[in-house]
A and B are shown apart, each in its own frame.
Chain A
Amino acid sequence: LKKNLQNVFLNKKYTDFEIKVINPNNEKDIKIFPTHRAILMERSEYFNGLFRSKMKEEQQGFVEFNDISVQTMETILEYIYTGSLHINHNNALEILVASKKFCFEPKLTTQLVDFIR
């Protein structure tokens, strides 16, 4: 199942929502991640609220982040799709911050804190 879901993310078929990661130092530097609303909203309270409130992003079909790096976003999305999280000393802190913003399950936060220690 994990493999299947990973394929869903990698194949980028039937995607209906885009996540755009903007380099805060260069607004032209944009990385686009095509994703699935159904999966995002199920896995993250943040996205659930984003879709439910029917604000601009929901209408336009994309959201823009400038407070997160492309690598972190990729790791986060892999976690969202498959449930496995690849942490190392370089990305741990940034992922921790992101996981709090996206309201992932508290268990994950605990794991990250343990790792950082």
Chain B
Amino acid sequence: MSRKMILRVPKFQEPKRMEKSEAQRLWLLLKDAIVEVQHMNASTLSFEELYRSSYSLVIAKRGDILYTGLEEVNNHHTKNLLDKIAQAVDERFLIELNSQWQQYKLQQIMIHDILMYLDRMYVKEPQLKVFDLGMFKWKQNVLIHSQINDRLVRMLLGLIHMERNGEVIDGALMKSLIQMYVDVSLKEKETYKQEFEERFLLATSHFYKSESNLFITNNSCGAYLKKVEIRLIEEEARIKQYLDESTGPKLIKACEDELIANHMQTMIEMETGCRTMIQNDRFNELKLMYRLFQRVENGLVHLKNEFAGYVRNEGHKIVNQPENLKDPNALITSLIEIRNRFEKTLSQSFANNRDFINSVNTAFESFLNENDKLSESLALFIDKKLRGGFKDSNDQEIDVIMNKVILLFRFLSDKDVFKKFYEHYLAKRLLSGRSFSEDLERTMISKFKQECGNQFTSKMEGMFTDMRLSKDALDGFKNYLQTSVEMGKLPKIDMSVRVLTQGFWPTFPPHSCTLPPLLSQYCDLFTKYYCHAHTGRRIIWQTNIGTAEVTFRLPKKTHVLALSTYQMLIMLLFNDAEKLSLKQMAAGTSISFMDIQRSVKPLYSGKYKVLKRTPAVEKSKELSENDIFELNLNLKCKLHRIKFAATSQTDSEPERQHTRQRVDEDRKIEIDAAIVRIMKSRKALIHNDLIVECTKQLSSRFVPQTSMIKKRIENLIEREYLERFPDDRRRYRYLA
């Protein structure tokens, strides 16, 4: 643009033609001045005069004289400096070099200022700008000269080495000299990178390789981690203090590689390493380890795997410990304990890292499903809590426990098994009136609902509804009795009935028994009343889960016995007989022998014995049909009311089998439904795909066995829901 302007302006703007001798004169003037500047005698020179001289030369198109002249002067000067600096002894070398360099830099700024017009109007790429030319000459003739470069780098690295070993060095001098490499670099700090940085990084790796190897063999892992952290902080400080910032990431990477990445396996495996830290809950050390491992590639994967492995191992021990297998309460309590413990580790040491949490959860999933005990144990654990185990806890504590239960529940793969057991124990709690608090029951259920949806809890909620409706029905019945004609003829007894909707409640194995005439009359009355109020309903009496209170008159004292219905029936037999064999009891009540055995046992072997076995035999002996019992008229008991357990709290093996069987039945239905659902939407599907799809759909409730699915498919083919393709036996078609 300036050229264009000169062409267009009138003649008198054109500078006067300059004689060669005049140009030479101006150059010599400038040259003398530059030499003066190089000898630090600038203060007597006139800036305006020098500037005007260089300006005139450029205007007169004599910039070339100026530029080449400058190059020569710089060349000459730097060569002189080289000799001066190279002569310095080691102790003076860095200081001498630095002070020459600092002066040189100032001079170059001055020269640039004087020759500003040359820089702006004459210098064109690829020529170097005036200042860069000065830098280049320094680099060429001083810095990378064989007498300087190696010596300088060696000394710089030596000083850094000393500093790493704890000695104090002159940081400002280091900064200035290292910055010199950056300053003389023309593009992208290439001189700095080539001449200094590369060798510095190499020396760093070397230093830390040997230091870390030595340190880790002679110290604990914890001490080593601390050392590493301190080293990293020191290196960060070093970057700020005297390195170019572009070196930062490379330096840190080199340190991390040597100090962390190369020793990860050792830190995990060594005696004082990661394993021991996890075992002993050394949260701070683990936290440090996490922080450091995080810095290197795949570091956290190592740590995570180690942790998850430990969790799985601990869990495995707990679920297989013989004591725990016998005691569901202890099992669940220890599971909650380790869960708490690992959650603490996760939050205190591993920053609640999602990956870590997930792998711990996977570990829980795997050991919780190692044996099928867990579903029942969990249901029993809650049962105990809801029967009164929560009595001494406040709301907050209860909520915490419930949430832990839900957490464990979440890991169960066979949620349907758990559900059956839970329903079973819930039914028992409700029917025996042992539930500690309805509110808590409902809270627990609502938590399951949140977790698994309505379907999961609909039966449980149905049970509660039944309990409420039963109470209403019973009140109605009592009113009915008072107004009833037949009432006058019957002696009064206090009867309580619960109407259970079939389907909501676990099915209790039907047992028949003969009720005494009075009771059966009452039962008939209730049936009459209820079926009148609710037409179309049928009542089936389930006497085996009832309770009764019986007055027991002894010669001196009267007790009230709280018994199960069966026990009541047995005791009533003694109204008409002194001695009875078990066989006779069974005959008189139509109760199965097994139930007789179970009912009688608490009556003669508990703390308060209302029955005597005659002749007396060892307690432990199994009961046989012909064992004979009579009333214990010498019973001594301060209590007025004596309570007898109907059966032991935990279920017997056959009952458990029964529950399992019912689960299997339910599963068949679920699998059928899933298969039909899938086939309905897909119409045709290959066997394997169907299995996969089916397993996926059911996974929220249980993990179906492939063999079971196969059987159900066969069954559905028989029932003509599906058929095989005639030409491809592996494919099924849905038959609408």
Chain A interface (Cβ within 8 Å of chain B)? Answer: 45-46, 48-50, 52-59, 63-65, 67, 93, 96-97, 100-101, 103, 106, 109-110, 113, 116-117
Give the residue of B4, B5, B46, B120 whose beta carbon is less than 8 angstroms from that of A57. Answer: B46
Residue of B at shortest CB range from A65? Answer: B48
What is the CB-to-nearest-CB distance from A69 to chain B, in angstroms, rounded to a whole number? Answer: 15
Residues of B within 8 A of A56 (CB): 43-47
- From B1, B4, B48, name the one whose CB has the most chain A CB atoms within 10 angstroms: B48
Chain B interface (Cβ within 8 Å of chain A)? Answer: 1-2, 4-5, 8-9, 13, 42-48, 50-52, 55, 109-110, 112-114, 116-117, 120
Asked whether A59 lies within 8 Å of B43 as measured between CB atoms, the reply is yes
Asked whether A57 lies within 8 Å of B113 as measured between CB atoms, the reply is no
Asked whether B9 lies within 8 Å of A116 as measured between CB atoms, the reply is yes
What is the CB-to-nearest-CB distance from B689 to chain A, in angstroms, rounded to a whole number? Answer: 73
Question: In the bound complex, what is the Cα–Cα distance between A36 and B5 (angstroms)?
Answer: 32
Instruction: List, sorted by A's number, 19 A–B pairs whose CB atoms are closer than 8 Å.
Output: A48-B113, A49-B51, A49-B116, A50-B47, A50-B48, A50-B51, A53-B42, A53-B47, A53-B113, A54-B42, A54-B43, A56-B44, A56-B46, A63-B47, A100-B2, A101-B117, A109-B5, A110-B1, A113-B8
| Given A52-B109, A109-B2, A116-B8, CB of A46 within 8 Å of CB of B43 | no
Residues of B within 8 A of A101 (CB): 55, 117
Question: In the bound complex, what is the Cα–Cα distance between A45 and B113 (angstroms)?
Answer: 8
Question: In the bound complex, what is the Cα–Cα distance between A53 and B106 (angstroms)?
Answer: 9
Question: In the bound complex, what is the Cα–Cα distance between A101 and B51 (angstroms)?
Answer: 9
Question: In the bound complex, what is the Cα–Cα distance between A55 and B36 (angstroms)?
Answer: 11
Asked whether B48 lies within 8 Å of A63 as measured between CB atoms, the reply is yes
What is the CB-to-nearest-CB distance from B72 to chain A, in angstroms, rounded to a whole number? Answer: 21
Chain A interface secondary structure, helix, strand, loop or mixed? helix
Residue of A at shortest CB range from B13? Answer: A93
What is the CB-to-nearest-CB distance from A37 to chain B, in angstroms, rounded to a whole number? Answer: 13
How many contacting A-B pairs (Cβ < 8 A)? Answer: 71
Residue of A at shortest CB range from B2? Answer: A109
Asked whether B1 lies within 8 Å of A55 as measured between CB atoms, the reply is no
Residues of A within 8 A of B47 (CB): 49-50, 53, 55-58, 63
What is the CB-to-nearest-CB distance from B115 to chain A, in angstroms, rounded to a whole number? Answer: 9
What is the CB-to-nearest-CB distance from A87 to chain B, in angstroms, rounded to a whole number? Answer: 14
Question: In the bound complex, what is the Cα–Cα distance between A100 and B2 (angstroms)?
Answer: 10
Asked whether B5 lies within 8 Å of A113 as measured between CB atoms, the reply is yes
| Given A46-B51, A113-B1, CB of A53 within 8 Å of CB of B9 | no
Asked whether B114 lies within 8 Å of A67 as measured between CB atoms, the reply is no
Question: In the bound complex, what is the Cα–Cα distance between A51 and B44 (angstroms)?
Answer: 14
Sorted from nearest, which 10 A-B pairs have the closest CB atoms? A49-B113, A55-B47, A53-B110, A50-B47, A113-B5, A53-B113, A55-B45, A56-B46, A57-B47, A63-B48
Asked whether B110 lies within 8 Å of A64 as measured between CB atoms, the reply is no
Question: In the bound complex, what is the Cα–Cα distance between A58 and B46 (angstroms)?
Answer: 9
Question: In the bound complex, what is the Cα–Cα distance between A49 and B110 (angstroms)?
Answer: 7
Residues of B within 8 A of A65 (CB): 48
Residues of B within 8 A of A49 (CB): 47, 51, 112-114, 116
Residues of A within 8 A of B5 (CB): 96, 109, 113, 116
| Given A58-B47, A109-B1, A116-B8, CB of A53 within 8 Å of CB of B114 | yes
Question: In the bound complex, what is the Cα–Cα distance between A52 and B110 (angstroms)?
Answer: 8
Given contact pairs A55-B46, A63-B47, A103-B116, enumerate 13 new A-B contacts (beta carbons under 8 Å).
A45-B116, A46-B116, A50-B113, A53-B109, A55-B45, A55-B50, A56-B46, A56-B47, A59-B43, A64-B48, A93-B13, A113-B4, A113-B8
Question: In the bound complex, what is the Cα–Cα distance between A59 and B48 (angstroms)?
Answer: 13
- From A53, A57, A59, A67, name the one whose CB has the most chain B CB atoms within 10 angstroms: A53
Residues of A within 8 A of B43 (CB): 54-56, 59
Asked whether B13 lies within 8 Å of A67 as measured between CB atoms, the reply is no
Residues of A within 8 A of B2 (CB): 100, 109
Residues of B within 8 A of A113 (CB): 1, 4-5, 8
Residues of A within 8 A of B48 (CB): 50, 57, 63-65
| Given A46-B51, A52-B113, CB of A103 within 8 Å of CB of B120 | yes
Question: In the bound complex, what is the Cα–Cα distance between A101 and B5 (angstroms)?
Answer: 15
Residues of A within 8 A of B50 (CB): 55
- From A55, A58, A110, name the one whose CB has the most chain B CB atoms within 10 angstroms: A55
Residues of A within 8 A of B109 (CB): 52-53
Question: In the bound complex, what is the Cα–Cα distance between A14 and B600 (angstroms)?
Answer: 118
Question: In the bound complex, what is the Cα–Cα distance between A97 and B48 (angstroms)?
Answer: 16
Residues of A within 8 A of B114 (CB): 49, 53
Question: In the bound complex, what is the Cα–Cα distance between A52 and B42 (angstroms)?
Answer: 11
| Given A53-B47, A55-B42, A101-B55, CB of A117 within 8 Å of CB of B116 | no
Residue of A at shortest CB range from B42? Answer: A55
Residues of A within 8 A of B46 (CB): 55-57
Residues of A within 8 A of B52 (CB): 67
Question: In the bound complex, what is the Cα–Cα distance between A46 and B115 (angstroms)?
Answer: 10
Question: In the bound complex, what is the Cα–Cα distance between A106 and B114 (angstroms)?
Answer: 20
Question: In the bound complex, what is the Cα–Cα distance between A117 and B55 (angstroms)?
Answer: 25
Question: In the bound complex, what is the Cα–Cα distance between A43 and B112 (angstroms)?
Answer: 18
Residues of A within 8 A of B45 (CB): 55-56
Question: In the bound complex, what is the Cα–Cα distance between A65 and B44 (angstroms)?
Answer: 18
Question: In the bound complex, what is the Cα–Cα distance between A82 and B109 (angstroms)?
Answer: 29
What is the CB-to-nearest-CB distance from B285 to chain A, in angstroms, rounded to a whole number? Answer: 57
Residues of B within 8 A of A103 (CB): 116-117, 120
Question: In the bound complex, what is the Cα–Cα distance between A63 and B43 (angstroms)?
Answer: 14
What is the CB-to-nearest-CB distance from B216 to chain A, in angstroms, rounded to a whole number? Answer: 55
Residue of A at shortest CB range from B15? Answer: A97
Question: In the bound complex, what is the Cα–Cα distance between A63 and B48 (angstroms)?
Answer: 7
Question: In the bound complex, what is the Cα–Cα distance between A45 and B46 (angstroms)?
Answer: 17
Residue of B at shortest CB range from A110? Answer: B1
Asked whether A93 lies within 8 Å of B116 as measured between CB atoms, the reply is no
Residues of B within 8 A of A50 (CB): 47-48, 51, 113
Residue of B at shortest CB range from A58? Answer: B47
What is the CB-to-nearest-CB distance from B726 to chain A, in angstroms, rounded to a whole number? Answer: 89
Question: In the bound complex, what is the Cα–Cα distance between A59 and B45 (angstroms)?
Answer: 10
Question: In the bound complex, what is the Cα–Cα distance between A106 and B120 (angstroms)?
Answer: 11
What is the CB-to-nearest-CB distance from B359 to chain A, in angstroms, rounded to a whole number? Answer: 62
